Amino acid sequence: MDIRGCVALVTGANRGLGRAFTEALIEAGAAKVYAGARNPAEITDPRLVAIRLDVTDADTISAAAERCGDTMLVINNAGIMLSTPMLAPDAADAMRREMAVNVFGLQAMIAGFAPVLARQGGGGVINILSVVSWFTAPFNATYCASKQAALAVSDAARIQLAEQGTQVTGVYAGFIDTDMAAGIADPKTSPRQIADRAIAGLAAREDHVLADERARQVRHDTRHDPCNFAASLSLGWKQRAR
């Protein structure tokens, strides 16, 4: 789809990658950008239309779908990462919280806005996934579980929404230079690069966008050398656990 002249909605738009998406959309010529946030007062860019939106709250999703009935593109960016190993004492609670946003929130947004997109001729959906949609990092296992489930939601929605002409694009990246990854020392990709590549991928009708070098490398390794990749995860766990 063509971004120029379209009406888009971004979840989690008050900071980080969400803010980068709003800027990229405006610069690409979007006619209107709804910026969704739990506290819309945090949206200060006058070029944006701030809306209250909590992806874990069905009422705010319904209200947003009614208010933003001209939406042609939904960018599901809102996410939470609690960096929890699977057998940590608080793992179950962490996974429930991550699933609530990353999985059930994603599904609720797609379902809530599917009729809106249908009325606009199909439109598009961009889902921010992760390289851990393809593997499990032991120190971040509950988040990985949520992103693997989110991949299933995204793929299923693509198939189901094809009939109404809605393009569903999944976006994959390693660590992004946002608050979510502030305590991580590994190399990070700029949020704007992820946003630009995601938008370009949607325009090219790509189902899957590998938005940085880490995504390309992980995609290759998990497909072509899965045994060595799994061994590297085990080694990393042992080294960090010492």
C-beta of residue 86 within 8 angstroms of C-beta of residue 141:
yes
Q: What is the pLDDT of residues 43-82, one digit of tens each?
A: 999 999 999 999 999 999 999 999 999 999 999 999 999 9
Strands 7-10 and 49-52: unpaired
Strands 124-128 and 32-37: unpaired
Predicted local confidence at residue 242, as pLDDT = 60
Question: In this structure, is residue 221 part of a structural domain?
Answer: no
pTM for the whole structure: 0.94
Q: Which of 196, 209, 13 is nearest to 127 (CA)?
A: 209
What does the alpha-carbon distance between residue 228 and residue 242 come to, in Å, rounded to a whole number?
21
Q: For the chain, what is the domain count?
A: 1
Beta bridge partners of 97: none
Please list the ranges in the chain whose pLDDT falls under 50: none
Q: Which of 24, 6, 5 is nearest to 123 (CA)?
A: 6
Q: What's the domain range around 96?
A: 7-216
Beta bridge partners of 37: 52
Predicted local confidence at residue 181, as pLDDT = 64
Which letter does DSSP use for residue 178 in this model? Answer: S
Distances (CA, A) of 205 to 76, 124, 186, 241, 242: 17, 9, 31, 43, 46
What does the alpha-carbon distance between residue 64 and residue 53 come to, in Å, rounded to a whole number?
7
Distances (CA, A) of 175 to 16, 28, 92, 129: 12, 25, 24, 12
Question: In this structure, is residue 1 part of a structural domain?
Answer: no
C-beta of residue 36 within 8 angstroms of C-beta of residue 64:
yes
Question: In this structure, is residue 100 part of a structural domain?
Answer: yes
Question: In this structure, is residue 94 part of a structural domain?
Answer: yes
We report the CATH number of the domain holding residue 168 as 3.40.50.720
C-beta of residue 181 within 8 angstroms of C-beta of residue 17:
no
Q: Angle CA(70)–CA(32)–CA(107) in degrees, nearest 5?
A: 55
Question: In this structure, is residue 40 part of a structural domain?
Answer: yes
Question: In this structure, is residue 234 part of a structural domain?
Answer: no
Question: In this structure, is residue 230 part of a structural domain?
Answer: no
Predicted local confidence at residue 178, as pLDDT = 78
Question: In this structure, is residue 33 part of a structural domain?
Answer: yes
Predicted local confidence at residue 241, as pLDDT = 62
> Tokens 């063509």 correspond to what residue?
2
Predicted local confidence at residue 107, as pLDDT = 98
Predicted local confidence at residue 184, as pLDDT = 72
